[in-house]
Chains A and B, each alone.
Chain A
Amino acid sequence: MTGAGRHVLEVEGITKTFPGVVANRSVSFDLAEGEIHCLLGENGAGKTTLMNIVFGLYRPDEGTVRVRGEEVSFSSSADAIAAGIGMVHQHFQLVPTLTVLENVVLGAETVRHGVLELASARRTLADLSDRYGLPVDPDALVGDLSVGIRQRVELLKALYRDADILILDEPTAVLTPGEVDEFLSTVRELVGMGKSIVFITHKLREVSQVADRITVLRNGEVVGRTTPAETSEEELAAMMVGRQVSFTVDVGTSDPGEVVLEVSGLVVDDNRGHAAVRDCSFAVRAGEIFGIAGVEGNGQRELVEALAGMRPVVAGDVRLRGRSLLGLDPRRIAELGVGHIPEDRTRHGLIGAFSVADNLVLNRYHRPPFARGLVRRRSEVTAHAEELVATFDIRTPGVDVPAAQLSGGNQQKVVVARELSRPLEVLLVAQPTRGLDVGSIEFIHRRLVEIRDRGTAVVLVSAELDEVLALADTVGVLYRGRIVASMPAAEADRHRVGLLMATGSEAA
């Protein structure tokens, strides 16, 4: 890791208010040439807001931004891009109906007489892919890609524009552990090639791996500046959330009852019509957390969507207490007591334009007490929302603001709060703590254990092997669409599960 050169980016005294919240209060921050500067802070601390200001998307109320010593006042991100700044956004900024190549060139197209010259762009993209180890299929539709690959496209977009100041807003939140390692080495390589990087993350392990310097935000203010050598993960966590955080939740002992959810011989296609889940069978008992470990892209998404009724089942059966769920629509399945915390919260979990309160009753808005006959009852909805906002510590100026205005982590909490706040037979959870700060992760883990202890059968899919190992009572390994092994938590150690995830068998 290189030491600090001159400052390529300096932010001074930035204040930014939104109706009802001060997102940044007099924040100062700088980035030295060739360094990785980690920006930490709990959900809603103001990290994204600060970086959106640097990237020209928001205008600050007060304060200055200097790039390579010169004061700038960007009126759009076009100006920031021209100044050599690239940003990978926390919520992907991709056009799903366009191809990878089209997404990459958009806004920076090479043209002859206005006609796109995609051939040269294709070569440049291939070069970048090679150089940084970021393979993509330039002609794939972005809408068909997994989140991991979309992340790659986002990074390539910034590199394609020759950015030398890179802002990475929670880039690893959606990656699998293997992908994270790869990504971190890409990031180090980028720095080696002279780029300077602002790195936002909630994963403290990554911070100690890559950071040169660390700045911590809380409630819109800088509460600490440090380096990995001077601090520890515990200290950082405490600095972020303002209290001591325990990293491991005491899961206690489970007391599984009868089988609630039974999946047998399930076959499910992916969006392109290829079998993604192949002959998958497992059973989950009441009061048990069944953790599914597996490298992303082995059918997790399709499996969960099929169980939730969002994707047609090609063959096999899904039974809830003996009753087949095949052919029921998602709403009916939810009404039978199946909760679902989806992987892609902005697409399947939330309606951004609806208020927080409405999002919190999205699966029940039409039933009592939230509606009487055809008439909705506002006051009930609001009271319910206020209660959940308090219990789940959702940081929002009010329950009436559109959900899209919440910080990323707080949007996730809205989805989790909605699903955990009603009695459930089965809870399907995919990546429940993606993008959450350490304090919230602790909180949600506790809630999952709690709901298990109340007798719900929990299916937990997570790209974080640690999360699966920490919470699951039974660990199943999903490999190429099939549960290749399933074992009690006591027998599941990192090494054994890792091998199964990678090869599908225990014989190395």
Chain B
Amino acid sequence: MTAPSLRRRFVAVDRVRALGAIYVVFGLVLLMRVAPALPDDPERFLFGTGPDALAWTFRPSTTTVVIASALVTFGALALVRSGRLVSGGLVLGGVLAVVMLLVASLALSPNKSTNLVPLFIQSLRLGSPIALGALAGMWSERSGVVNIGIEGMMLAGAGIGFVAYALLNGGAGGLPLYVAVLVAVAAGGLFAALHSLMSVTLGTDQIVSGVAVNLLAIGLTSFLRSQVLVPLNADSATTLPELSIPGLSSLPIIGDLFSAKPIFFLTFVAFGASAFVLTRTRWGLRVRSVGENPHAAETLGVDVMRVRYQAVILGGCIAGLAGAQFSLETVGSFDDLMTNGTGFIALAALIFGKWRPWPVLAGSMFFGFARALGVRIQLLNVEVAGFPLPSQFLQAVPYVVTMVVLAGAIGRAIPPAAIGRPYRRPG
């Protein structure tokens, strides 16, 4: 019954204080337990390779003390809520916590230096499918339709797109490869059309409908794989070619970022275009209105159902493209459950980005970073007291840090007001 804006202010007090307390405790543990215990050989963060690479050499103990003190300070500031720097401090503290993770991993690893540029680039690469999935969700949910079927739409794109490719020319590249990408996009759109048929026209619960889409996609793609791909023996196809942006790709240090595959580049284009369409075009305005107050839109002659169909299907097409990224761009084959939960992580990124394009992109890349960091820490062979840490643990840690930082520093997200409610025309 309380207006969201009012309630948010109450919740904000608790959230900021809670995060402040976590920072203080974590900082104190670092100061008193971790800093004295870490092996103190000098470490190096490298930026780039070769002799002219930038490098930063430091001692784990002093660095830990510095980071820990900063965390305690920021946490304390948040606890007493003094000054305007509270949320900035919390975000900065989160970044420092991530740095700390790397510092500690290096200290506990036989390796004493690590190159951060590939880590950064890898984050973007791994974040790209998450971002596309989240963008798919954004379109659907801004129009008022919950979409937990993104995972299924991605899987459908990956599977059906690859089947088309295999049937067209057995995976030998060339024009059929691009046709297959279009098929993947269409497959995502088709599954989204199914989702809107169920949830917009028939008024099925949108969560149920999304689950149905996921299950159907799993079943159908696995069927197609066993019936079509296995007999064709299509499992090492030519993937989309790598493109290099002239000029940019020969920049020092970050040049590698600009040599990548087409769908990776398309991710950023899709976000730019979506941000523009959502805020600056007639259709985007209608999508926003339909997701917030469909009744008002209806009284102005906007066809609520049609706009919802369009937005959900556009989202599905984007999810299909994300699927193509797995099978046609990265791997060159299709496996069951290939998308591996990316669609669900995308939903989390969508919420962290508060359903707004650029923040959603940033949120997705955070998750990409968490994935990349998990891989990196594993490669470092971190050992505590002579025992290697389990890889599942190492993969999970960055996610935990990311979640705490995002949840704490970004705060409560307010979804589109009409989300999840089927619209019925009155009278």
Contacts and interface: CB of A to CB of B under 8 A. Distances in A.
Contacts of B9: 312
B343 to A, nearest CB: 26
Nearest to A309: B2
Interface in A315-344: 329-330
A348 B1 contact: yes
Contacts of B295: 93
A55 B300 CA distance: 10
Interface stretch (A96-104, A215-223, A233-241): A96-104
Contacts of B427: 16, 52-53, 57-59
A57 B298 contact: yes
B70 to A, nearest CB: 29
Interface in A182-197: none
A106 B302 contact: yes
Interface in A82-133: 82, 87, 89, 92-98, 102-103, 105-109, 111, 114-116
Given A81-B301, A114-B281, A312-B10, A95 B426 contact: no
Interface residues of A, number: 48
A108 B300 contact: yes
Contacts of A296: none
Given A95-B289, A312-B9, A77 B2 contact: no
Interface in B407-422: 417
Contacts of A78: 300-303
Contacts of A93: 293, 295-296, 299-300
Interface string B251-270: 00000000000000000000
Residue among B280, B282, B298, B303 with max Cβ neighbours from chain A (10 Å): B282
A265 B309 CA distance: 54
Contacts of A310: 2-3, 6
Main secondary structure on chain B at its contact with chain A?
helix
A111 B284 CA distance: 12
Given A106-B302, A116-B280, A351 B285 contact: no
Nearest to B284: A116
A76 B301 contact: yes
B283 interface: yes
B274 to A, nearest CB: 14
B282 A116 contact: yes
A76 B298 contact: yes
A305 interface: yes
B125 interface: no
Contacts of A116: 280-282, 285
Contacts of B3: 310, 347-348
B292 interface: yes
A271 interface: yes
Contacts of B121: none
A45 B127 CA distance: 58
A480 interface: no
A96 B285 contact: no
Given A98-B288, A116-B282, A77 B1 contact: no
Contacts of A492: none
A106 B1 contact: no
B340 interface: no
B28 interface: no
B289 A106 contact: yes
A106 B426 contact: no
B297 interface: yes
Contacts of B426: 52, 57-58
A108 B299 CA distance: 12
B303 to A, nearest CB: 7
B298 A96 contact: no
A507 B196 CA distance: 65
Interface string A348-369: 1101000000000010000000
Contacts of A114: 281-283
17 contacts: A52-B427, A53-B427, A78-B301, A80-B301, A81-B300, A82-B301, A93-B293, A93-B295, A96-B293, A106-B285, A106-B302, A114-B283, A305-B6, A310-B2, A311-B6, A330-B1, A348-B2
Interface of B: 1-3, 5-6, 9-10, 280-283, 285-286, 288-289, 292-293, 295-303, 417, 426-427
Given A89-B299, A93-B293, A97-B292, 12 more contacts: A55-B299, A57-B427, A58-B426, A80-B301, A95-B293, A98-B288, A106-B285, A109-B285, A111-B281, A116-B280, A347-B3, A362-B1
Q: Give me the 10 closest cross-chain CB pairs, A-B, nearest first.
A: A78-B301, A58-B427, A107-B300, A93-B296, A109-B282, A93-B299, A95-B293, A111-B282, A95-B292, A107-B301
Interface of A: 16, 52-53, 55, 57-59, 76-82, 87, 89, 92-98, 102-103, 105-109, 111, 114-116, 143, 157, 271, 305, 310-312, 329-330, 347-349, 351, 362
